[in-house]
Amino acid sequence: MASPAMRRAIRVRGTVQGVGFRPTVYRLASAAHLAGFVRNDSEGVWIEIEGEPRAIARFPDLLRLEAPVLARIDGLEIAELLPLGETGFRVLGSAEEQSVQANVPADVATCAACLRELFDPSDRRYRYPFVNCTDCGPRYTIVRDVPYDRARTTMDAFTLCQRCLEEYKDPGNRRFHAEPNACPVCGPHLTFVEPGRPKLEKDEALRAAAKAIQAGKVVAVKGLGGFFLAVDPANEEAVAALRRRKRRPHKPFALMARNLEEVEKIAELTKSSRRALQSLTRPIVLLRAKPGAKVAPGVAPGLSEIGVMLPYTPLHHLLHAEGLPLLVMTSGNLSEEPIAKDNEQALEKLSAVADAFLLHDRDIHTRVDDSVFRMVDQSPQPIRRSRGLVPDSVPLLFSAPPILAVGAELKNTVCLVRGGEAYLSPHIGDLENIETFQFFEEVIGKLSRLLGVEPTAVAHDLHPDYFSTRWALKSGLPRQAVQHHHAHIGSCLAENGSRGPAIGVAFDGTGCGPAGDLWGGEILLADLAGFRRLGHLRPIALPGGEAAIREPWRLAAAALADAGVALDCLARVAPMRRSAVRQLLEKKVSTPLATGAGRWFDAVSALCGVRDEISYEGQAAVELEAIARPGDAPAYPFETEWRLEAPWEIDLRPTVRAIAADLRSATPASEMAARFHATLAVAIVQSCRCAREQFQVNTVALSGGCFQNRLLTESTRSLLESAGFAVLLHRRVPPNDGGLALGQAAIAAFRLSESQRP
């Protein structure tokens, strides 16, 4: 005798829209002979199933096992319903509701099935630059609202032809409700614009763009989340022209390679870096360059690494197929401005940079730069978290009211807490120009709308002059001020699923301390509730203030003077300039003190003759790491007086005196660079040992921009683990200020959630 039918409702939360989840539900329900329906709504996916009880009971497990690759199930809620006597299973349209809790999926690289169609002459999408399906293509960059349906994306401007509509409506088709679905008949198309020449359309436009790049021209290409500037990386003149026009004299350019075989010709690959390159995110991965690679020196001047990515859109694959195995693909913007996203904006802003433009008419709703990773201890560490990773969330260990964290001044991102999840925005940039600040405000509005929450509090940095802090002060929201380096450690704790306590090592350039002083080389005892400053690097004077950051030789002079060493180590600097800085130091005029580890890296870089002036943030430190001799190196001497009543100081004056002696004996700069890195690693470990003895805490969190430095991070982690410490590193968000908003959000959320406890 057959069991009586039963009916259940299943609420699925997580990233379950725009990833082929409903077709999977349809397939599983049909195979199990279950009736009912599935639909998207503003909270995720709603399923009602009716049928044989054993099949009903197995269904939640099947959902988890058979979920699409791009889906992420955060929760299943099950409720019993009265049977309705239904037959057959249906896929319904999205429900219109006010509350928004659904997650928008990230943009995804072109899948293998779509690539086969792209290069199949018999396929109707042959050489169509916008081929996609539910397993790949644009999501976050085109969506305007949720639930994620075509009508709420920029694709609503294109009416599906009959064949595409049939695919879109067929639950058994891999393009079922693929919102960007299109073909050459009904979808977006390319246009090539070059001053003085007729416009070209579609395939002619693509071929013309490839020929222009091969001819040494700079071509602005409209991509997935904005414009890119493309040139031939083997053509030194083209690379130099791009640098000159973009006003970017030294900062490295990223490369796009046709495939892994092309990457292997120019860079060293490991199993883990291969996986990172081929991941669905398709990030830029920083790799050690091979000597003699056919890449112009101007691509990454002064560095031992190059940033490489694989193609992630059909348009990229088609450009490579036109005989372009490697491309420079750098952000389509002027220095420090946001990436251009609209055709009109690009034609205006980039007219002095690009010789020609490869445009298309699919609008980008939200601009997104490429994500960047560096391999640290054979695992990818984010340097910039953007395309392919947003708007994925970081789970918190507690639920909190909606909090907006507005980040810092440089490498800005913002973060919004919804329930127990923290959503970090894409990379925004440096808030020092009006265009980027406008983008900052735009991102806040879009993130709030997509998540369906209005923040009830704002977390911000202590620095009163950060544009993000000023915005918070004017917002009218209740505020939570979070110290910069506490936020760094909070970020590392949050992404590692920890509340603390931990010994926090926060090494960066400069951040505002509680008393308005300049911190940046900090040893903290921290949890999400608060922190205690245990120790710090010896402060270094910044002669001329901000000028010392732009001209690291000034920091070298300050370090020498503080250590009692004559400035003749800087004989290459004009005597008048040295004299002026000496007077500033002697009179203590315009010489603020900073404990920043980044400033010490700058000083040593200049001492070693690596970099006296910089054109981009962190350049001196990056180039110092690049020249450091590989392998173990002995640490230089330093001094520390451990004390309980006040923060101890890691005194680097002995280090400076030893470097000065090495300079006089003509020690190679590579040796001095390696020894300085070893010095900081040893100083960190000794500090952590002292903290452990005092407070019985065995976990160390490493955060701040200096831990983008692979040599420092790997050396420090190795020594710490040898000393028995558990070490927390960044793997989901950047250790630099790009991850700071997560720390602000987690700390503010913890404070508010604790304050609401009975």
Identify the bridge partners of residue 536 per DSSP, sorted by sequence position. 522, 649
Q: Are residues 227 and 370 in the same domain?
A: yes
Task: Report the alpha-carbon distance of residue 213 to residue 234 in Å, rounded.
Answer: 11
Of 337, 319, 340, nearest to 328 by C-alpha is: 319
Of 490, 389, 381, nearest to 734 by C-alpha is: 381
User: Is there a contact between 462 and 483 (Cβ–Cβ < 8 Å)?
Assistant: yes
Helix (H) or strand (E) holding 576: helix 575-587
CB atoms under 10 Å from CB of 676, counted, come to 30
pLDDT, residue 233, reads 97
Judged on CB neighbours under 10 Å (0-12, 13-18, 19+), 581 is buried
User: Is there a contact between 671 and 662 (Cβ–Cβ < 8 Å)?
Assistant: yes
Please check whether residue 387 lies inside any domain of the structure: no
Please check whether residue 314 lies inside any domain of the structure: yes
Please check whether residue 748 lies inside any domain of the structure: no
Q: Are residues 212 and 325 in the same domain?
A: yes
Please check whether residue 280 lies inside any domain of the structure: yes
Please check whether residue 59 lies inside any domain of the structure: yes
pLDDT, residue 336, reads 76
Please check whether residue 358 lies inside any domain of the structure: yes
- Report DSSP state, residue 143: B
Residues 6+ away with beta carbon under 8 Å from 686: 640
CB atoms under 10 Å from CB of 445, counted, come to 9
Q: Are residues 71 and 212 in the same domain?
A: no
Q: How far apart are the first and last CA of the chain?
A: 54
CATH number at residue 313: 3.90.870.40
Residues 6+ away with beta carbon under 8 Å from 484: 408, 461, 462, 463, 508, 511, 512, 519, 740
User: Degrees (nearest 5) of the Cα angle 371, 377, 379?
Assistant: 40
Mean pLDDT of the chain: 93
Q: Are residues 200 and 334 in the same domain?
A: yes
**Which amino acid, residue 473?**
L
Tokens of 38: 């599935």
Q: Are residues 202 and 77 in the same domain?
A: no
The SS3 assignment for 9 reads strand
**Residue holding tokens 């980008």?**
364
> Considering 91, 121, 138, which residue would you say is the last residue of a domain?
91
Please check whether residue 37 lies inside any domain of the structure: yes
Structural domain count, the chain:
2
Task: Report the alpha-carbon distance of residue 396 to residue 418 in Å, rounded.
Answer: 10
User: Is there a contact between 640 and 687 (Cβ–Cβ < 8 Å)?
Assistant: yes
**Residue holding tokens 């064949």?**
163
Task: Report the alpha-carbon distance of residue 601 to residue 169 in Å, rounded.
Answer: 59
Q: Are residues 363 and 218 in the same domain?
A: yes
Of 505, 460, 499, nearest to 483 by C-alpha is: 460
pLDDT, residue 757, reads 62
Helix (H) or strand (E) holding 415: strand 415-424
> Considering 356, 374, 392, which residue would you say is the last residue of a domain?
374
CATH number at residue 32: 3.30.70.100
Model pLDDT for residues 392-413, shown as the tens digit of each residue: 889 999 889 999 999 999 999 9
Contacts of 451-455 with CB under 8 Å at 24 or more apart are 451/100, 451/391, 451/416, 451/418, 451/423, 452/42, 452/99, 452/100, 452/101, 452/146, 452/418, 453/100, 453/402, 453/416, 453/418, 454/402, 455/402, 455/403, 455/404, 455/416
Domain range for 233 is 190-374
Model pLDDT for residues 13-53, shown as the tens digit of each residue: 888 887 888 888 998 999 999 999 998 887 889 999 999 99
pLDDT, residue 98, reads 43
The total number of residues written for the chain in this structure: 758
Please check whether residue 83 lies inside any domain of the structure: yes
| Low pLDDT (below 70) residues in the chain | 1-3, 95-102, 755-758
Give the CB-side neighbour count of residue 377, counting CA atoms within 13 A. Answer: 16
**Residue holding tokens 């704002």?**
458
> Considering 374, 402, 430, which residue would you say is the last residue of a domain?
374
Model pLDDT for residues 673-702, shown as the tens digit of each residue: 999 999 999 999 999 999 999 999 999 999
Tokens of 461: 């940095």
pLDDT, residue 40, reads 85
Phi, psi dihedral angles at 138 (to 5 degrees)? -75, 145
User: Is there a contact between 295 and 289 (Cβ–Cβ < 8 Å)?
Assistant: yes
Q: Are residues 70 and 215 in the same domain?
A: no
